[in-house]
Amino acid sequence: MSVEISEHDDNEAKKIRNACLVMLTRREFSTKEITDKIRLKFESSSTIHQVISTLKTEGLLCDVRFTESFVRSRINKGQGKQRIKAEIKHKGIGDELVKKVIDEQGTNWISIAEKALLKKFGTQVSSDRKEVGKRIRFLQYRGFDFDEINQVMKQL
């Protein structure tokens, strides 16, 4: 009977591994994110943990690589540090790793904020208080801090 159980566990582990690999071929995932998704499909928590550990040791699942990819994609979308940090925290990535990756990017946040503002509102300069407030709120929502927003608003 124990032989049947181990065969069942092997079969389950193969199914879990294949499901993980299918997901990882589409994009990078954080460990927490892929674990949560796999738990929706499979019940064996210990087998899931074992497969995830194997994927990490094989280098197929890497939180650093996921964080780099995530930060790069959000910067390209015109988002600021605060928004990126908030979003990635939900994906189970620690603050230290996020800070390290963001610092390594060497990003000019002011130019990104300026590009996002120009894309949304165009080159038209507005002295109307309502319009200026709208632009400031837009940049705040995008995750830029007060100093970056001030510098962008002074430049325009």
Map out the domains of the chain as residue ranges. 2-61, 64-105, 109-155
Predicted local confidence at residue 155, as pLDDT: 84
> In this structure, what token pair is assigned to residue 32?
């927490």
Q: Which amino acid is at 77?
A: K
In CATH terms, the fold of domain 2-61 is Arc Repressor Mutant, subunit A (1.10.10)
pLDDT tens digits along 92-111: 999 999 999 999 988 999 99
Kindly report the pTM of this predicted structure: 0.85
CATH number for the domain running over 109-155: 1.10.10
| 105-109 CB contacts, 8 Å cutoff, 24+ apart | 105/71, 105/72, 105/75, 107/75, 109/80, 109/81, 109/144, 109/148
